[in-house]
């Protein structure tokens, strides 16, 4: 299924005058504040977010999964679904694959198919947290940290194979998340496990093409519940620093213990030039993988405050981070959930761009916390939705993506096309 420009144009027609009015009001206000509104909109349009291939179907938990039908049955259909999102918001221009869930059967065909939707392939993800049918050795007790050299070698070979798949697709980075850990005190020798993980990652790093990056994703717990080898940003940063200039830390927002100051972690990693990218989502308790901005939009804004400061600092050595979503949809339509997540990320970025940085720095240097908060919240309390909508309109996308998605009855048509019982690979 594809969404044609005519439909989007006619749908925009219904809300165009309202949009023009709210956009004119907001850009007038920003103009008077000296904000370069068109420069602003260009920055928003250029900000493309990668969609996870494993989150285009209904997610579940060990207690249950309630698929909504019309889920993609193949990599081609997954690309079609990301194409649908991109047609509606022109901000989802990349797809991040998970291997072996998404091994392309015909690389050239899938590249052409993605290109026909205006999509590229972002980071590829390896998977040594599940055993595949024909696998010689089990990852039950870990992969790159395993006590058995044969298991470690198997996991290293898998990562090198994932890099080969990514290379063929035009991807330029590998994300390694390891479930490796223990569930009982005494079960694991922490030092041996970390050293083996580092040595294994060194072989993977050496197998990467010169222009590739390696993202080391950390997580405090799950699936093991006493220790995780790469448990926090510090351990990931340690490994990335040991590995080399093309190894970075990946920040999954859900991979932090309650009340962790994630924006400070982001500032620190950017200062070190070691922030590789993000897995955006939101959570209340654990790695809940909920819609971005659904629970903690102010935290997301504070994270983008640090990102914009780092990205606009001419002395910064940090490369442009990879913007990716990592979510699981147990209740909402996966595509609507992803449209909401992309919007929330754009809103946080746009509000962070509005912060009056010179005056914020003045307030900080003069130890005026009230003034600093006033400046932050002035930006956060600015309704920038007309700016994001204008960026979409100028890019030929929908002023209101979710309304357009519903007006087109996309899910109903996907169920007609794919069936009510089609299940997508992934979590």
**Rounded distance, CA 159 to CA 382, Å?**
44
Residue written as token pair 């220790």: 227
Q: At what angle do helices 334-354 and 369-380 cross, to 10 degrees?
A: 140
**Rounded distance, CA 401 to CA 407, Å?**
10
Interface residue list for ligand LRH (CB under 6 A): 54, 125, 177, 217, 219, 252, 279, 287, 326, 427
Interface residue list for Mn ion (CB under 5 A): 252, 279, 326
In the list Mn ion, ligand LRH, none, the entry touching 180 (Cβ below 5 to 8 angstroms by class) is none
- Is the distance from CB of 85 to CB of 49 less than 8 angstroms? no
Q: How far is the CB of 204 from ligand LRH (least distance, A)?
A: 15
Q: How far is the CB of 46 from ligand LRH (least distance, A)?
A: 25
277 beta partners: 250, 322
Q: How far is the CB of 307 from Mn ion (least distance, A)?
A: 18
Q: How far is the CB of 337 from ligand LRH (least distance, A)?
A: 15
User: Which lies closer to ligand LRH via its Cβ, residue 104 or residue 426?
Assistant: 426
- Is the distance from CB of 174 to CB of 212 less than 8 angstroms? yes
In the list Mn ion, ligand LRH, none, the entry touching 219 (Cβ below 5 to 8 angstroms by class) is ligand LRH
In 4-74, alpha helices (H): 5-13, 16-32, 37-46
Q: How far is the CB of 412 from ligand LRH (least distance, A)?
A: 28
Of the candidates 110, 228, 137, 129, the one whose C-alpha atom is nearest the C-alpha of residue 175 is 129
In the list Mn ion, ligand LRH, none, the entry touching 282 (Cβ below 5 to 8 angstroms by class) is none
**DSSP tag of 147:** S
Q: How far is the CB of 291 from ligand LRH (least distance, A)?
A: 15
DSSP 159-223: HHHHHHHHHHHT--EEEEE---EESSTTSS-HHHHHHHHHHHHHHHHHTS-TT-EEEEE--SSSS
User: Which lies closer to ligand LRH via its Cβ, residue 177 or residue 301?
Assistant: 177
In the list Mn ion, ligand LRH, none, the entry touching 379 (Cβ below 5 to 8 angstroms by class) is none
Q: How far is the CB of 217 from Mn ion (least distance, A)?
A: 6
Closest residue to ligand LRH, based on beta-carbon distance = 177
User: Which lies closer to Mn ion via its Cβ, residue 92 or residue 283?
Assistant: 283
Q: How far is the CB of 106 from ligand LRH (least distance, A)?
A: 25
User: Which lies closer to Mn ion via its Cβ, residue 90 or residue 329?
Assistant: 329
User: Which lies closer to ligand LRH via its Cβ, residue 250 or residue 375?
Assistant: 250
In the list ligand LRH, Mn ion, none, the entry touching 287 (Cβ below 5 to 8 angstroms by class) is ligand LRH
User: Which lies closer to Mn ion via its Cβ, residue 51 or residue 397?
Assistant: 51
Contact partners, residue 53, CB within 8 Å, separation at least 6: 75, 78, 82, 95, 96, 97, 98, 101, 102, 426
64 beta partners: 61
User: Which lies closer to ligand LRH via its Cβ, residue 282 or residue 326?
Assistant: 326
Q: How far is the CB of 243 from ligand LRH (least distance, A)?
A: 18
User: Which lies closer to ligand LRH via its Cβ, residue 26 or residue 230?
Assistant: 230
**Rounded distance, CA 231 to CA 177, Å?**
10
**Rounded distance, CA 212 to CA 169, Å?**
13
In the list ligand LRH, Mn ion, none, the entry touching 208 (Cβ below 5 to 8 angstroms by class) is none
Contact partners, residue 396, CB within 8 Å, separation at least 6: 5, 8, 90
In the list Mn ion, ligand LRH, none, the entry touching 54 (Cβ below 5 to 8 angstroms by class) is ligand LRH
User: Which lies closer to ligand LRH via its Cβ, residue 303 or residue 375?
Assistant: 303
**Rounded distance, CA 95 to CA 56, Å?**
11
In the list ligand LRH, Mn ion, none, the entry touching 125 (Cβ below 5 to 8 angstroms by class) is ligand LRH
């Amino acid at each position: 299924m594809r969404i044609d420009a005519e439909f989007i144009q006619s749908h925009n027609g219904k809300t165009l005058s309202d949009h023009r009015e709210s956009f004119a009001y907001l850009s007038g206000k920003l103009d008077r504040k000296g904000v370069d509104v068109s420069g602003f909109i260009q920055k928003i349009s250029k900000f493309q977010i990668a969609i996870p291939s494993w989150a285009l179907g209904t997610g579940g938990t060990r207690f249950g999964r309630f698929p909504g039908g019309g889920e993609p049955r193949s990599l081609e259909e997954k690309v079609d679904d990301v194409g649908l999102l991109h047609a509606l918001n022109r901000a989802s221009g990349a797809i991040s694959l998970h291997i072996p869930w998404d091994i392309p059967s015909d690389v050239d065909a899938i590249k052409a198919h993605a290109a026909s939707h205006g999509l590229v392939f972002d980071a590829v993800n390896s998977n040594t947290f599940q055993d595949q049918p024909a696998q010689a050795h089990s990852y039950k007790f870990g992969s790159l940290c395993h006590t058995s050299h044969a298991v470690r070698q198997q996991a290293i070979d898998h990562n090198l194979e994932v890099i080969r798949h990514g290379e063929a697709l035009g991807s330029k980075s590998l994300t390694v998340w390891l479930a490796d850990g223990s569930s009982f005190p005494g079960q694991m020798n922490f030092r041996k496990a970390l050293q083996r993980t580092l040595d294994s990652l060194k072989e993977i790093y050496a197998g990467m093409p010169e222009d590739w990056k390696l993202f080391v994703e950390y997580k405090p717990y799950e699936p093991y519940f006493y220790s995780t080898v790469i448990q926090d940003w510090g351990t990931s940063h340690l490994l990335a620093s040991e590995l080399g200039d093309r190894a970075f830390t990946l920040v999954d927002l859900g991979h932090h213990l309650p009340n962790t100051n994630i924006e400070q972690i982001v500032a620190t990693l950017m200062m070190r030039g070691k922030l590789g990218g993000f897995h955006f989502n939101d959570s209340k308790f654990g790695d809940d993988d909920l819609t971005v901005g659904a629970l903690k939009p102010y935290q997301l804004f504070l994270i983008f405050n640090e990102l914009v400061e780092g990205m606009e600092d001419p002395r910064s050595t940090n490369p442009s981070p990879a913007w990716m979503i990592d979510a699981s949809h147990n209740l909402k339509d996966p595509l609507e959930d992803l449209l909401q997540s992309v919007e929330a990320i754009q809103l946080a970025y746009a509000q962070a761009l509005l912060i009056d940085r010179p005056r914020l720095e003045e307030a900080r240097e003069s130890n005026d916390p009230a003034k600093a908060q006033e400046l932050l919240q002035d930006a956060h309390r600015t309704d920038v939705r007309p700016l994001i909508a204008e960026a979409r309109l100028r890019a030929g996308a929908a002023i209101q993506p979710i309304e357009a998605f519903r007006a087109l009855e996309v899910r109903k048509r996907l169920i007609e096309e794919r069936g009510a019982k089609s299940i997508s690979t992934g979590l």
